[in-house]
Each structure stands twice: as structure tokens, then as C-alpha cells.
Structure 1
Amino acid sequence: MNIPAANQVRVFFVVGEASGDRLGASLASELVAKHGNTVAFEGLGGEGLTEHGLTSLFDIEDIAVMGLAPVIARLPLILRRIRQTSDAIIASKPDLVVLIDSPDFTHRVAKRVRKAAPNIPIIGWVSPSVWAWRPGRAKAMRAYMDHLLVLLPFEVEAHQQLGGPPATYVGHPLIDELESLRPQSPNERLSLGTDPSTLLVMPGSRSGEISRHMPMLRETLARTNQLLVGEGYAPPTYILPSVPKHTTTIKEAVKDWPVSMDVVSSQDAKRAAMRKAHGAIVASGTATLELALAGIPMVVVYKLDVLAHLARRLVKVWTIVLPNLVLGRPVVREYVDEMARPEALARALKALATDTPERRAQVEAFEELDALMAGPDNQTPAQRARRIVDTFLSKE
């Protein structure tokens, strides 16, 4: 690890996966823009933070695992990495620690650091879903986290009510990407009725979600076509944005579907599809917020796995749809588990492929969502995060 000059302040990042690395890199960029070479970075990160001079303690792929079985298989290594990271922070005595997402890893690091070196300030960026389940985590976080930067407006009040650490809404990273999400010319998202409508099919990004949702989606789309053609409409154009690692599997799965499906895998192709689409059927998750910010009405579905089904009673939230949570009312229809029946989904999707009151209500609500997500100023999430960080670094 490079030894910084005496006049530098040092920020120690703890990042567990690629999305967190992107957030960390955006904050590092803002800190460098404001303070130049008087700020130095160390810790754990990926390519983005490495470009800002951070030499990562180890490859974050060591801890970027999801699902019960993969975590158990790699548990000895993960525990060793938790000790390694916390020991490095304690030895370095940085001016500030910034934890980004991956709470199963980063929060365990924070607990060890707080116990051994309570004077090192710790900021977290991205809140666990304490408002949905295990709300006691909020109060527990207060013991080892000095401030929390959150992505969703309602999370500030949620932490206040649950006794969590002081929180500031800095905005969701998607706010920085609105131009790529929304049509930039009338030729991208054509008016309904000009041509066949374009519908997105988004079964989820994890293999388990895809396997649970694809059979249901196959029948749903067949029924949707029947309903639309029966009323004199042309069959929609269907586009399925996939993550690259699942593209081959999905293309093979849709070969015998009764509807034609265009499977795309690059980020550019996905965003081009969003700028074109009139509606979507989507698995619950961050993709629902992405669609809402793109102005695309949607139907949300989710089939629970065995463990999630058993834990369903522990969930304390009234909706699983992020746009509904931000808006504070049920704008988007959701069909979970036994409610996710193709005949019901087809009727709901058909209403989004044509000019209906249901479709217009979502479009209008998403304009309201814009104002809620934008925040009180014209700054980016990274700029707002930098302001909070600076209060701990005594730079402002």
C-alpha cells in the first residue's frame, strides 16, 4: 500500500461487488475534483476505484457471491476476508471508512472496526431493505455506522422510525442515466397505434428467477396475443433484455414459444429497447424503478423460491414494487406467487399495450416519481455523497 503524504486525508473504501465499485468510483471522482491530490484512497474495490489509485486488498470476486449454497461453499474464505479487511482498516487508521452495499460483508467489517477502533468514522452507502424485513437491523446499524447514504427518498424516514443511523437521501444511480433510458426523438417510442406496440419481457437477472418465471411468461404472452388480435390489434413486438451470462439459455428456451421474441444482451441494446417500449412485464426488483424512470408502464410478477415462501410472513412491506413504495400508493399492479396466473397477467399486460386509463394512470404517476427521485437540487448522487463525506473529512 502506498504511503500518502502527511497533508493528505485518507478514505478507506470497502466494496463487495461491481455495482458498489461504480458508486465508489463516482464518489472518488468527485473528491478528486474538489480536493485534488490532498485526498488518497485505499481499501477494497474493483476496476473503477483502481483507476483512482486504490490498490485493492484482494479481488472482490472472492466475496461477490449470491445464494445460500454458493455462500456456504465459500464461507471460510469470506470470513478470512472479513478479518483481513477489518485488520487493514485498524492498522491504517484512515480518516474515514466508506462501506458500499454488500451488507453481509461490509457490515461485519464495520462491527469489528468499531469495536477495535471506535474513533474511526464510518459511512454506509446503500441501505439494506430494513423497511421490508428484519427491521431490527436499522437500530443495530447505529452502533457501528455514523451516517447512511440512501438511494430511495422514503428510506430517510424509515430509519428515523426504526432507530437507525442518521440518513441522507443522495439519489439513485439511475438518476444519472435518464438520457439513455428515455426517448430522445419521436422516432424512438412511437405513438400507440402507429405500429404494433413494443413490450419488454424481463424475467429477472438470476438463474433461479429466470427458471421460475419463464414458463409462466410463455403462456402469458400467448394469451396476450390472443386478446389483442381478438380485438383487432396487431400482435406486439416482444423484446427480452438479458444479462450476457444467461443469453444463450434464454435464446434456447424461447425457440419454441408461440410468440416471436427478440433477445438482447448488451447494455446499449437494453437501453435502446427501453426507449422504444410501450409497456413491460417484469420481475420485481430494481428493474421496476428503471422502467418507471423510463416512463414505461408495467405489470410486476414474482414467483418465490422455497425459502422465500417460508419467510414470506416476515416481510413487513405493503408492496414489493419500488415505484409504489416511492409514490406511497399502489400505482403498479403486482402478482406474487399464487396470484401470478397467466390469464390475469395477460389481461393486465393487454391494458398496457393499448391506450387505456390504466396505462395513462401509470404514465402520469411516473412523472410524479421524477420529482420525488430528483431531490431538492440539481446535483448528482455522487455530488451529494461527497458533501456528506466532506463533513467527516472537515473539508467544508
Structure 2
Amino acid sequence: MSSPLCVMLVAAEASGDDRGAGLANALRARLGDQVRFVGVGGARMAQAGVRSPFDITELSILGVFEGVLAYRRVIRRVRETVALARAERPDVVVLIDSWGFTLRVAQGLRRAEPKLPLIKYVGPQVWAWRAGRARTLAGVVDHLLSINAFDAPYFEREGLSVTFVGNSALALDFSDAHPERLRREIGAGPDDLVLLVLPGSRPGEIARVTPAFEDAVNILKARRPDLHVVVAAASTVADEVKARVAGWPHRAHVVEGEQAKRDAMRAADLALACSGTVTTELALAGCPMVVGYRLGPMTHAVLKRLIKTPYISLFNIAGGAFVAPEFVQDECTGEKLAAALEARLADPDLRRRQVDAQFKALDAMGRGGPDPSEAAADAVLKLLAERRAA
């Protein structure tokens, strides 16, 4: 009997952890006990059988200059990841999202194991900024699994083969969501307004974005004492989020875990969200939202000269408009966020129109396509079969 296929999965933040878990589960469904996993990931990948040698929360770095300060720690973890690959001798390595960390891992693996197949899952957003990254990626990996239908030309012109697998957020299943249960647990009636707050999944986001979100919620609660506030805490920052919410002058309900998050997304009338994968998930749930984001001032000064799109949310990019309002950097203040939220709380028709526009943008992104984890598993196995045949 042949040895099980060894697949190494490497993720360094919450969204990558989700994708890695989905891919691991899809591969195990196909191969059963004929596949084993090694690598780097978070709680969800651990549940799927990928035991990480270190906590990935220390790699959730927000900003260019913060990355410089964390450089030595990142390089140490890169070396540990490469050493893990050399010890476990995987048949293939899938590097998920997290451009800075996974690029360095790819470079280290290419030097250490030149023939080891390397697959990048989620490419850098070269259509928005730093187009040269397409050539950089093509020089170190063998294949790209793309989550955007418009990615391929940017990388194929550099000689990198691409498989479009879709965005895993678009495949999020809300059929098991129980909004009534969530409302019952927080004491909200069917006609009561519920605001869902999603402050991010990185420590840097909690530090920079949450103060403005707190100010906005305080303003709204002063105007609307009966407004129910729910805060969804990502596993990577749950302790920080719960500690902050405990100090709020009004009651808010903190929920943890994917099931509770889905319940809350379907139960909420409106959301205040940190930019990221969660905005796509909210749109899919049919929840209108206001989006906020902040970077360090020096990082923002650099990036605003490089970014070519006026939008930061994927469905706004796909829709070519501010389908959901975005407040970035100096615009991300409690007063401005509260004003945009209040306009929607006061106008159910505005909320309905925004949901319709969000759905239209999701369709442009590929909503309703094949499950991305299944498509990614097919692509990984196909690449391996082709390499073995060659």
C-alpha cells in the first residue's frame, strides 16, 4: 500500500485559516486516510487536522512599518516553516493568502527543495496596486489558485498558470443560521433594531479601528437606547475584543464562533464592519453595512500613492461603486460612522436598496459558482497528477 499523500498548508491569518480548513476537509473527503496534513494555521485548520508549530496571531501584522518592526519575528517563523517542510517532506505545499509571510516561505522552500511543487492560494491584488508582485510570484511558485475571476491575465502574462476557484466567502452556507435564536438570546423582539459590530481579526485592527467603532456605537446608543448591539469576536482577537466591550458604558452582547457569527449576520438589521473578508460574508447574508478601516499614518501615506482603486471592499470593486459606504483613515471617525449608520437605521427602504445592490455586486464576483474548497482540492490533485505523469 502506498504512503498517504502529504499536503502542507500554510496560513498566517484568520481568513487563510478558514480557506486552509476548507481545503483540508475537501481533500480528506476525496482521499480519506490516504492523505495527511502538516503545516501552519489557526484553530479551524487544527480542527481539520493541521497542527501548527506556533500561534499564527503573532503574524497578523497590519501595515508596512509594523511589518518592518516585526521583521525578525517573521523571519524566525519563516525558517521554522521551511524546516518543518524539510522534516516532513510533503508532496505539495499550498501557501494561503498573507503575501509577505507566504512569499518568504516560498522563497525559502524554493532554495531548500527546488523540485517541491508550490501552489499559492489567493494572489496579491495586483489589479489594485503593486503590479510587479505578479512577476515576483511567478518566479517562486508553480501555480496560483485565484479567488477573483479577473485575476488570471495579470499573472498568466508573467508565465504563471492560474485556476479560478472562487471566493470561499461566496460559498458560505447560511442555511443553518438561526436569527430568531440569536434575537431570543439577546432579548430582542422581531421588530427591534439590531446592530452587529465586526471590529476585525488582527490585533492591529482592534487597536486602530475599534476606538472609532466604539465612539459610533456610543453615539447611536445615546440616540437609540433600545438599539441592541452585538459584537462578533474573531478567534484570533477574542480576548482583546471581550476586554474592550466589558468596559463599554452600555450593554453589548459578544458572540464567538462561526455558527454564532452566521446567526448574528442574519439577525442584524445593519452592520458596522472592519474591511476584510467579513464584508463579503455580510453581503451574502443580506445584511447592509457601513465599512470602516484605519492604517498607521505612515503606512497610509505610502499606500495611498500606490493604490489604483478608490474602493477597499471587494464587492464595491466588483460593483464599481460605493455599494456600501466606506470610511477610511481620517474619515473613519465615530461621528461619520454614526451618521451613516443612523441614516440606514432610520430608513428601511435604504437598507433594502443597499442589500439589492450588494447582491448584484456578489453576482459579478461569481456568487452561485462551484464551492471554492472543492475547486481548490480538484486543482491541487490535478497539478500533482500532471507532475507525476511528467
TM above 0.5: yes
Q: 2:320 aligns with which of 305, 322, 328?
A: 328
Matched, 1:119 2:109: no
Q: Distance in 2 between matches of 1:50 and 1:342?
A: 37
- Give the SS at the match of 1:166: strand
Q: CA deviation at 1:336?
A: 2.1
Q: CA deviation at 1:184?
A: 7.5
Q: Distance in 2 between matches of 1:162 and 1:176?
A: 32
Read off the aligned partner of 2:168 and give its amino acid letter. Answer: H
Q: Distance in 2 between matches of 1:55 and 1:209?
A: 26
Preserved CA contact (<8 Å) 1:182 1:295: no
Q: CA deviation at 1:64?
A: 3.2
Can you give the 5+ residue segments of structure 1 that lack an aligned partner in the other structure?
none
TM-score, normalised via structure 1 length = 0.77
Cα separation, partners in 2 of 1:90 and 1:23, compared to 1, 3 Å: same
Higher mean displacement: 210-219 or 168-177: 210-219
Q: CA deviation at 1:110?
A: 1.4
Matched, 1:251 2:245: yes
Matched, 1:262 2:258: no
1:12-49 CA distance string (max 9 Å, x none): 33343565344334323322322334444344455665
Query: What aligned pairs does 1:279-298 form with structure 2 within 5 A after superposition?
Result: 279-298=270-289
Partner of 1:147: 143
Q: Distance in 2 between matches of 1:215 and 1:80?
A: 32
Query: What aligned pairs does 1:1-396 form with structure 2 within 5 A after superposition?
Result: 6=2, 8-17=4-13, 19-45=15-41, 58-61=53-56, 64-67=59-62, 75-76=71-72, 78-86=74-82, 89=85, 94-156=90-152, 159=155, 165-173=161-169, 175-180=171-176, 183=179, 195-217=191-213, 219-221=215-217, 224=220, 236-243=227-234, 244-255=238-249, 260-267=250-257, 268-311=259-302, 312-373=304-365, 375=367, 377=369, 379-394=370-385
Preserved CA contact (<8 Å) 1:153 1:326: no
Read off the aligned partner of 2:253 and give its amino acid letter. Answer: V
1:263-299 CA distance string (max 9 Å, x none): 3142354433322211122232222222211111112
Higher mean displacement: 334-343 or 130-139: 334-343
Read off the aligned partner of 1:64 and give its amino acid letter. Answer: L
1:35-76 CA distance string (max 9 Å, x none): 3344443444556656666665x3354963525788667654
- Give the SS at the match of 1:201: strand
Cα separation, partners in 2 of 1:60 and 1:127, compared to 1, 3 Å: farther
Q: Distance in 2 between matches of 1:210 and 1:94?
A: 36
Cα separation, partners in 2 of 1:279 and 1:176, compared to 1, 3 Å: closer
Higher mean displacement: 47-56 or 241-250: 47-56
Q: CA deviation at 1:315?
A: 2.1
Q: Distance in 2 between matches of 1:98 and 1:132?
A: 24
Q: Distance in 2 between matches of 1:89 and 1:222?
A: 49
1:83-134 CA distance string (max 9 Å, x none): 3443554676643221123332222121233345443321111223333332
Q: CA deviation at 1:154?
A: 3.9
Can you give the 5+ residue segments of structure 2 that lack an aligned partner in the other structure?
none
Q: Distance in 2 between matches of 1:66 and 1:344?
A: 27
- Give the SS at the match of 1:179: coil
Higher mean displacement: 138-147 or 176-185: 176-185
Q: CA deviation at 1:199?
A: 1.9
TM-score, normalised via structure 2 length = 0.78
Cα separation, partners in 2 of 1:9 and 1:252, compared to 1, 3 Å: closer
- Give the SS at the match of 1:204: coil
Aligned residues: 377
Preserved CA contact (<8 Å) 1:203 1:214: yes
Cα separation, partners in 2 of 1:118 and 1:375, compared to 1, 3 Å: farther
Read off the aligned partner of 2:363 and give its amino acid letter. Answer: A
Cα separation, partners in 2 of 1:211 and 1:253, compared to 1, 3 Å: farther
Preserved CA contact (<8 Å) 2:293 2:332: yes
CA RMSD after TM alignment: 3.8
